[in-house]
Structure 1
Amino acid sequence: MTGQPTEKAEAGWDSVADLVVVGSGGGSLAAALVARQGGLEPLVLEKTEVVGGSTAMSGGVLWLPNNQVSRAAGVEDSPEEARQYFAASVGDVGPSTSPERVEAFLNAVEPMTDFLMEQGVPFRHCEGYSDYYDELPGGKARGRSLETEILDLRRLGPWRQKFRARADLPPLPLTTSDVSPLSLAPRTAHSVATVAKVAARMTKAKLTRREMRGTGSALQGWMLLAALRAEVPIWTGTRVVDLVVEDGRVLGVVAERDGRTVRVRARAGVLLNSGGFAHNQAMRDKYGPAPASTAWTSANEGDTGEVIEAAMRHGAAVDLMEEAWWIPSSVLPDGTPQFAVYERSKPHSILVDSNGARYVNEAASYMEVGQAMYARHRETTAVPSWFVMDARFRRRYLWGTVPGGFTPREWLTSGYMKKSDTVEGLAEQCGIDPAGLRDTVDRYNASAEQGKDPEFHKGERAYDRYYGDPTVRPNPCVAPVSKAPFYAVAMYPGDVGTSGGLLTDEHGRVIGENGEAMPGLYATGNCTASVMGRTYPAAGASIAASFVFGWLAAHHMIDNSRRSDSVA
């Protein structure tokens, strides 16, 4: 059962392992660590030349209801409250959110968290990062999300060059709790102190020649360190192109490696964690809402869907293929998509369609706003929508990574950011109905003077306020859009990955079109129809599901292998 993957270990195969994992995201490494501890030999196959998947490009957060780390930090939680919130926020939208899968997810949280901490992953509670619908039964204003401690990536040694790290963001040693105050600097004493704290970390890192990273880089860095300590084999530059199926059972995979085709045997099973199809325009056109473009996605470049298509060719069932982890995004002058999270909660701004009308709480969950954008587009033009700001917003707040008070010349000359001394002039530049935008701004401002948004209730959730401006009272998210000049940026329904795909059961087994589990085939992550359904209940929901179902799948393979050994 065990042993290193070996060349021609069995007739007809180029290499053999017990568990073959396709993709190197968080759920992949979690499964590989479980397999190794349980006596199985894992092998991780990564298509690109770098390890980490979309997890390494993310905020590096896992949403784990009723977890022991958050409870230790003083967050009161219980299994009953976790189930209550899951039911209220996610609900049951089909087989991916079946009671069995939801219970499997919730019940695995504590043992999985314990296991990863034993493997050296230092979790901490994300203080103040609220559940996205904290007003619902069971919702928590203090949140249930975990992140890891900051990591020196130089600890990865030679694997540092094979580790995925975002190139479009500065290499800042940040924790989640640093992001909101940094987006406000220097508006509050807390924001100024946070700038000083992060600057001190950067200075210390430079003096000690360390490469300190937080967010997804830290999470996946810790996971890779654990995998390297456990001697988990990882092959980069290995693209899986098909499954090997015999008599209805998945026996292994066909992959392209070093310019040749190889067949890799999986004695216990194959776990797919290959990502979705965010960068596959043909699949997006076939399954997703329209319009959609690969130019709007922030998913990693390996997110191209061929593994989902391979599983479908062999009879795998799929669901939720029209969904993604939507996140409103602009497209910078150089063509790079830039998603907007903290920007949308700031006051002195609104989001409008081509008629100049608001249609959503701008500060709501990014997935909720993305879905609202498509829903509105079915009635009128809302792709793109326009994020409208006044002079106070532009002077005070970050836009992406650019500080308030500074607008790059290229933004204006390229047309990426529109600017006008009047609301009507701004509307004309954007192709928005001038009278419609004027009417919307006037109606919004009338109630915004009192910090109220009777139409969409912006600022009433704890999550809305998390990224708001506490110096603006009584509502940190709502204030008039009235001071010239006015600015606008086109916003598209971008994403950080698709969230529909292969149907799996509570063990992570892929379900066939006949309704039965496909022997030998498991899946987790963005190549599956998510247990979160059509909702993003809190920060780190997608990553947590990937970790948990990777963990569950590996345990199921271990149990099956032990049963097989006992029968033999």
Structure 2
Amino acid sequence: MGSGNGALTAAIAAADGGAETLVIEKSEKFGGTSASSGGGVWIPNNRYAVAEKADDSLEDARAYLDHVTPSNTINPALLEAYLERGPAVIDYLHEHTEWVRYRNLAYYPDYFPDGPGGKTGNRSMEPEPLHASAMGEDFYNLAPQHPQTQMPGGINFTQVEGAVVLAATRGWFSLAAKLVLKYLIDFPTRLKTLRDARLTMGNAGVARLFLALRDRQIPLWRGTAMLDLVQEDGRVIGIVIERNNQREFVRARKGVVLAAGGFERNQAMREQYLPSPTNTQWSAGNLQNTGDAIIAAQKLGADTAQMDWGWWFTTATVPGKPKAYLSQVEKGMAGSITVNRKGARFSNESQNYVSFVADMIKDEANTPSYMIFDADFRQQRPVASVLIQGKFFPDWMIPKAWWTPEFLSKADSLEELASKVGIDSSGLENTVAGFNQYAVDGKDADYQRGDSSYDRYYADPEVKPNPCLAPLLKPPFYALALYPGEMGTAGGLVIDDNAQVLNEDGAVIAGLYACGNTTAALLPAYPGPGATLGPAMVFGFIAGERAAQG
């Protein structure tokens, strides 16, 4: 159940293990959250890093996860299975499929690189770009990238390219021009669709797994919702589905693998489990992720954990857009700060997004928060991927509906800006004055912004003395409203190291397996880029392999 990275990996493993395999997807488009994501997969000591002679080891990876993993939250056997099986799963997909290929991300750091076992790169991979012609007509059934992970006009870029383009650092314009040209001269595709056929990031990752699925003639039923799990004599024997407006029973002789994402689009579940305040409108997650798989398993007595946690991201709610937009890069770029309603900073804006929102949700005064920036920043940097640099997209071109305190505000002074958005003006003025001095000194005395190698990954090296700090001086001043959103929820079903779902007594629910965001997070601290897709694929593979054995 599901069609993201975890589900497709599970299907490949199950089929190769000799099981007759079926994949079902509730949406008319396949790929789930994985398809719209950055596509990164965090697996230490993977084959691509080893090929580049990266300085890493199982011992270093174990020490790193021991350091960052919250105490008494994760079954150590699951962490060990992940570290030991992860490289082998990637080897298998590389060696037993024609399609599944990744690139080493040599310079994308762990999110806590300065701790024991932390690394400044070589643990995350991104999918090799792929031209959609390999998919034929199936391309049109692939869920699109989130617009956030594209250039304006829907032009795709890789993670490496995106680090340059989104941060508008040296060489960004020539790189963007090359990508636009490549898009324009793809004449065969332009005659059929405006959608970019150079697949990257999450689209490339899902497409490559799907092609391996197709080679194995594994059916994927789109527009098929699971209504319930069916249990007989203590064992899950199948599911009830709705397809073409008809209910059907599908018998599962070997097992059922739940890989259908979390519950970020279920407001009732959000209010029951997530920190308050919470709202589906703040989510950048898949519109279909309403917790169906979790609810169905709970009916059978399945245990859950970490239901109050998410793969947090600050998000902006762009008027007229169905999904919130992620604010990953710009809030940490030199020349901007993020403050709460008191006008005060509350965290390091350049640190990883999960940790930043973890600080944000500690106090309701932080919701919403506001990214504050000046005219120079507006001219030079893109914001939330929809607000292109002012030198290309001046303020008079911004839709009138966007000028609202719930999204974007502008004023000629900090005092006036504070009044417009409803924050304390003296607090804001004092915060900006203090931060401007930090920019001159090159040292953030409050939150150490720019000290970590991760902080500097998206920074502008031409900004001195600290690439993450620049003063806010030139009016007009702007405020972008930010909310505690997420790419997906991180709580879910409890599994063992064989990916079998456990009940509240710790016993296995026979015939039921799970992986990905349907399960409780293996790596809740989000130790590196791709720390959701990595476990999803590894435990998806384990689930498929074990289910095939019956």
> Same fold per TM (> 0.5)?
yes
Deviates more, 1:257-266 or 1:277-286: 257-266
Is 1:356 aligned to 2:343, yes or no?
yes
Is 1:201 aligned to 2:188, yes or no?
no
Aligned match of 1:368? 355
State the Cα distance separating 1:495 from its structure 2 match.
0.7
Q: Which amino acid aligns with 2:530?
A: G
Aligned match of 1:110? 87
Is 1:517 aligned to 2:508, yes or no?
yes
Aligned match of 1:446? 437
Aligned match of 2:78? 101
SS in 2 for 1:463: coil
Match of 1:137 among 116, 125, 139: 116
Q: Where does 1:292-303 land on structure 2 (aligned, <5 Å)?
A: 292-303=278-289
Deviates more, 1:146-155 or 1:512-521: 146-155
C-alpha contact 1:47 1:302 (8 A) present in aligned 2: yes
State the Cα distance separating 1:318 from its structure 2 match.
0.2
Q: Which amino acid aligns with 1:242?
A: D
State the Cα distance separating 1:410 from its structure 2 match.
2.6
Q: Which amino acid aligns with 1:46?
A: E
Instruction: Report Cα offsets for 1:14-66 as digits up to 9, x if no partner.
Output: xxxxxxxx111111111111111111111101111111111001001100111
What CA distance in whole angstroms lies between the structure 2 residues aligned with 1:532 and 1:93?
13
C-alpha contact 2:348 2:447 (8 A) present in aligned 1: yes
Q: Which amino acid aligns with 2:489?
A: T
What CA distance in whole angstroms lies between the structure 1 residues aligned with 2:2 and 2:225?
9
Aligned match of 2:193? none
What CA distance in whole angstroms lies between the structure 1 residues aligned with 2:219 and 2:107?
38
Q: Where does 1:151-170 land on structure 2 (aligned, <5 Å)?
A: 151-166=130-145, 168=147, 169=150, 170=153
C-alpha contact 1:412 1:419 (8 A) present in aligned 2: no
What CA distance in whole angstroms lies between the structure 1 residues aligned with 2:125 and 2:264?
26
SS in 2 for 1:329: strand
Query: Taking structure 1 as reference, are residues 131 and 495 closer, same or farther at Cα in structure 2, changes over 3 Å only?
Result: same
Aligned match of 1:552? 542
SS in 1 for 2:445: coil
Is 1:430 aligned to 2:421, yes or no?
yes
Aligned match of 1:564? none
Report the RMSD for the aligned CA atoms in angstroms: 1.6
Is 1:52 aligned to 2:23, yes or no?
no
State the Cα distance separating 1:344 from its structure 2 match.
1.8
Instruction: Report Cα offsets for 1:277-324 as digits up to 9, x if no partner.
Output: 000000101111111111011111110012211110110000000111
State the Cα distance separating 1:479 from its structure 2 match.
1.3
Q: Where does 1:202-221 land on structure 2 (aligned, <5 Å)?
A: 202-206=183-187, 211-221=197-207
Aligned match of 2:15? 36
Is 1:191 aligned to 2:168, yes or no?
no
Query: Taking structure 1 as reference, are residues 261 and 230 closer, same or farther at Cα in structure 2, changes over 3 Å only?
Result: same
Match of 1:64 among 43, 61, 83: 43
C-alpha contact 2:440 2:465 (8 A) present in aligned 1: no
Aligned match of 2:160? 177
Aligned pairs, number: 531
Task: Tell me the TM-score normalized by structure 1.
Answer: 0.91
Aligned match of 1:384? 368
State the Cα distance separating 1:467 from its structure 2 match.
0.9
Q: Which amino acid aligns with 2:456?
A: R
Q: Which amino acid aligns with 2:23?
A: V
Aligned match of 1:323? 309
Query: Taking structure 1 as reference, are residues 184 and 514 closer, same or farther at Cα in structure 2, changes over 3 Å only?
Result: closer
Query: Taking structure 1 as reference, are residues 127 and 192 closer, same or farther at Cα in structure 2, changes over 3 Å only?
Result: farther
Match of 2:277 among 284, 288, 291: 291
Displacement over 6 Å in runs of 4+: none
Aligned match of 1:262? 248
Instruction: Report Cα offsets for 1:194-228 as digits up to 9, x if no partner.
Output: 22442343244346768112111111011111110
What CA distance in whole angstroms lies between the structure 1 residues aligned with 2:485 and 2:424?
24
C-alpha contact 1:452 1:475 (8 A) present in aligned 2: yes
Identity %: 37
Structure 1 unaligned regions, length at least 5? 1-21, 562-568
Task: Tell me the TM-score normalized by structure 2.
Answer: 0.93
SS in 2 for 1:59: coil
What CA distance in whole angstroms lies between the structure 2 residues aligned with 1:68 and 1:216?
20
Instruction: Report Cα offsets for 1:90-118 as digits up to 9, x if no partner.
Output: 24342xx2110000111111111011112
Q: Which amino acid aligns with 1:440?
A: T
What CA distance in whole angstroms lies between the structure 1 residues aligned with 2:146 and 2:62?
38
Instruction: Report Cα offsets for 1:367-410 as digits up to 9, x if no partner.
Output: 11111111022xxx111011111112111101133321133143
C-alpha contact 1:44 1:235 (8 A) present in aligned 2: yes
Structure 2 unaligned regions, length at least 5? 191-195
Aligned match of 1:410? 400
What CA distance in whole angstroms lies between the structure 2 residues aligned with 1:323 and 1:426?
33
What CA distance in whole angstroms lies between the structure 1 residues aligned with 2:319 and 2:32?
26
Match of 2:238 among 252, 269, 278: 252
